[in-house]
Amino acid sequence: METTVKVKEAAGKLGVLVVGVGGAVASTFIAGTLSVRKGTGLPVGSLTQLATIRLGKRNENRFPKIKDVVPLAALDDLVFGGWDIFEENVYEAALHAEVLKPEDLNVVKDELETIRPMPAVFDRNFVKRLNGTHVKPTASRRAYVDRLREDIRNFKAQHHCERIVVMWAASTEIYIPQTAPHESLAAFEKALEDNDTEAISPSMCYAWAAVSEGAPFIMGAPNLCVDIPALWELAEREKAPLCGKDYKTGQTLLKTVLAPMLKTRMLGLEGWFSTNILGNRDGEVLDDPGSFKTKEVSKLSVIDTILQTEVYPELYGHIYHKVRINYYPPRKDNKEGWDNIDIVGWLGYPMQLKVDFLCRDSILAAPLCLDLVLFADLALRCGFHGIQSWLSFYFKSPMHAPGRVPEHDLFIQHTILKNTLRKIIGEPTLDYLD
């Protein structure tokens, strides 16, 4: 990245197309953003809207808000749309999700009712617990990509958008390994032509369509999609940003705080047991073993990477790490994550840490969605393309360049994010030695 970045002006409308636009996360994100720009809601959890950034030396006492010094798109310029496997408009979907209260939704009801999903690309083999009723006619993978590209172009023209960002906020697909069709652009294109329905998932169709249209693609679920060489090649060719994967909201957010604490104090760890209960559509989908495996891989990767088990075998060489997610309909979107952590102190004496996090899944995810849309658009206007590792702060399984170890420590991620913003606006990065 260059020290001086030429940033195109955030002029005109920015189209935000969400895959799973009728889901709990997306409807909460959209309704909340509309409420914020109407002046009736506070964007709690959003760095782009509330956080400050230190500029210059500490004694200069310069702490402006990020949104006042970084050239982000204005909330008034956002235009929402997307795809969903159910045909409810976003107001109806938000009522059904039962995350936000009806009285809060009614403040922006008129705007939400105008956002009607386009039929989605759907293959039940990849999400076995859902039965989509608002879907595109069965077609080849190539035809699906072409139709999604047409959707993007039509939305852009209809709403007079200058730029588009595409975001995945749909359910987790089943676990699939990376195979030969994912290894290169040419191999993936051949798999499209051959209609390889096992190697090419619906999420890959959306990502391929978005990047082919030069739009940033944000991957909010843990399934294989943006983390394949074929898509990296396409993003390089089309100069489109990619980021992902799996929004970091509840239990894993805590792990990226607590695990660094253990390592910085050189405390040992014997075991970490995590269990969750969740009742929304995401919980139902994750009740399927195939989809759960995808999520499990994402959640399990965090601790080993942060603790550097190979560097500190005497402290972290034999960790027993178990993750469970249980579908429990009465909780709806109000997730509970419970962790039992067996730690080791001086002379090997055992201690325990227990955490019970009663959170609201979509309430935590919504501000991440807003920040990621604005930052992905910023990356596009800066000429950044490919993997945007500076956005790792927002993801459980942060994307990283091949051969590099991902950074999971929340506070290091936060520093990288803000230092990137400093570079973009021509300010010196901070090493915090002053």
Range of the domain at 145: 13-247+363-424
- Strands across the sheet with 386-387, in order? 118-119, 78-84, 13-19, 161-168, 217-219, 241-244, 386-387
Q: Are residues 193 and 338 in the same domain?
A: no
Residue 267 is part of a domain; what is its CATH number? 3.30.360.10
Residue scoring higher pLDDT (276 or 108): 108
Confidence of residue 272 (pLDDT cuts 50, 70, 90): very high
Q: Is the pLDDT of residue 404 over 90?
A: no
The rounded Cα 120 to chain-centroid distance in angstroms is: 19
268 CB neighbour count, 10 Å cutoff: 22
- The band of 3, judged by pLDDT with boundaries at 50, 70 and 90, is low
Q: Give yes or no: residues 348 and 410 share one domain.
A: no
In the listed set 358, 378, 400, which residue is the last one of a domain according to the structure?
358
Q: Are residues 130 and 223 in the same domain?
A: yes
Asked whether residue 6 carries a pLDDT value surpassing 70, the answer given is yes
Across 290-294, average pLDDT = 70
Q: List pLDDT tens digits, range 330-361.
A: 988 888 999 999 999 999 999 999 999 999 99
At 298 the pLDDT is 62
Q: What is the mean pLDDT of residues 38-42?
A: 96
User: Residues 33, 139: one domain?
Assistant: yes
CATH of the domain at 112: 3.40.50.720
CA 162, chain centre distance (Å)? 23
Is the pTM value of this prediction over 0.75?
A: yes
pLDDT score, position 402: 81
Q: pLDDT band for 295, please (50, 70, 90 cuts).
A: low
Angle 413-403-208 (CA atoms, 0-180°, nearest 5)? 80
Residue 87 has pLDDT above 80, yes or no: yes
Q: pLDDT tens across 220-264, in order?
A: 999 999 999 999 999 999 999 999 999 999 888 999 999 999 999
Residues 116, 88 within the same domain: yes
Does residue 291 register a pLDDT over 80? no
Give pLDDT, residue 299: 63
| pLDDT level of residue 431 (50, 70, 90 thresholds) | confident
Q: Which residues pair with 14 in a beta bridge?
A: 78, 163
**What percentage of the chain has pLDDT greater than the value 90?**
82
- Indicate the average pLDDT of the chain: 94
Tell me, yes or no, whether 222 lies in a domain: yes
142-171: average pLDDT: 98
State which of 358, 388, 412 marks the end of a domain.
Answer: 358
**Is residue 1 scored above 60 in pLDDT?**
no
Beta bridge mates, 275: 324, 338
In this prediction, residue 2 has a pLDDT band, given cuts at 50, 70 and 90, of very low
In a domain, 189, yes or no: yes
**pLDDT for the residue numbered 294:** 67
The residue-averaged pLDDT of 171-199 equals: 96
* Whether 320 and 368 share a structural domain: no
Tally of structural domains, the chain: 2
Local confidence band at 406 (pLDDT 50, 70, 90 cut-offs): confident
Length of the chain: 434
Higher pLDDT, residue 402 or 311: 311
pLDDT of res. 331: 85
The reply to whether 195 falls in a domain is yes
Question: Distance between CA 174 and CA 199 in Å, rounded?
Answer: 12
φ/ψ (deg, to 5) at 2? -75, 155
On whether both 301 and 189 belong to a single domain, the answer is no
Q: Which of 78, 41, 40, 77 lies closest to 369, judged by CA?
A: 78
One domain for residues 192 and 332: no
Q: Same domain for 233 and 209?
A: yes
Are residues 203 and 258 located together in one domain of the fold?
no
Instruction: Quick: pLDDT tens for 199-212.
Output: 999 999 999 999 99
